[in-house]
Chain A
Amino acid sequence: KNEVEQSPQNLTAQEGEFITINCSYSVGISALHWLQQHPGGGIVSLFMLSSGKKKHGRLIATINIQEKHSSLHITASHPRDSAVYICAVRPGNQFYFGTGTSLTVIP
């Protein structure tokens, strides 16, 4: 049983497209994180959310606590956005991770 489910697992988009990645979770949480993992493995934390919406550049993250759902949006996608995007939730101090969404943006 996965506490965190992401969709889609794989996503291919044309440069410039608007992209949405979804994350649903089954546990009560104190925070949700969106992470980016580039080929080669390094992880970058994009957002930490406990409510509402956050925006950073072309990235937007939203969370609905009642529905236990979060979305990560990328506007005007670019090939450099190609990476694996991972949703992680914190019920307490430790994290539960989704399996990730592999995004490929084609020029």
Chain B
Amino acid sequence: GAVVSQHPSRVICKSGTSVKIECRSLDFQATTMFWYRQFPKQSLMLMATSNEGSKATYEQGVEKDKFLINHASLTLSTLTVTSAHPEDSSFYICSAVSGNTEAFFGQGTRLTVV
């Protein structure tokens, strides 16, 4: 089956630094990728929709200058958390859509900002 690889699975960074998370579709072309964030004791919430070759669409309340999304190719989307703060510590996960039918998840990234 199709695979979406997300890297890194865990990252610890210092406050004020930037962290990049990659989401790759390994055996299919993903025209659309989605980024989600999980708050403690809450369900995963959509942050933004990433379309190949165009600007990402951010959900209300998500700072686009803080969470930079790039979808430069049909197999790779990146989420960069800029000037990270401890409150950005969370679990981030991507999903990728193949055509308009199948959708697959990355394994997720646990970010800890110290």
Q: Is the CB of A93 within 8 A of B93?
A: no
Indicate if A43 sits at the interface (CB-CB under 8 A): yes
Report chain B residues within 8 Å CB of A93.
32, 34, 49, 97, 100, 103
A25 to chain B, nearest CB (A): 12
Q: Is the CB of B103 within 8 A of A97?
A: no
Report chain A residues within 8 Å CB of B36.
95, 97
**Which of B18-26, B39-47, B64-72, B80-88 sits within the interface?**
B39-47
1/0 contact string of B48-85 vs chain A (CB within 8 Å): 01000000000000000000000000000000000000
Report chain B residues within 8 Å CB of A4.
43
Known A-B contacts A41-B91, A41-B110, A42-B108; the reply to A90 vs B43 at CB < 8 A is: no
Main SS class of interface, B: strand
Report chain A residues within 8 Å CB of B9.
41-42
Indicate if A74 sits at the interface (CB-CB under 8 A): no
Indicate if A99 sits at the interface (CB-CB under 8 A): yes
Q: Is the CB of A99 within 8 A of B42?
A: yes
Number of CB contacts from chain A to chain B under 8 A: 59
Q: Is the CB of A43 within 8 A of B105?
A: yes
Report chain A residues within 8 Å CB of B105.
33, 35, 43, 45
Indicate if B107 sits at the interface (CB-CB under 8 A): yes
A48 to chain B, nearest CB (A): 8
CB-based nearest B residue for A40: B110
Report chain B residues within 8 Å CB of A33.
103, 105
Known A-B contacts A43-B93, A43-B105, A43-B107; the reply to A94 vs B43 at CB < 8 A is: no
Residues of A within 8 A of B (CB): 2, 4, 30-31, 33, 35, 37, 40-45, 48, 86, 88, 90, 93-100
15 extra interchain contacts, Cβ-Cβ under 8 A, other than A40-B110, A93-B49, A94-B95? Answer: A4-B43, A31-B103, A33-B105, A41-B91, A42-B9, A42-B107, A45-B105, A48-B102, A95-B34, A95-B36, A95-B46, A95-B95, A95-B103, A97-B44, A97-B45
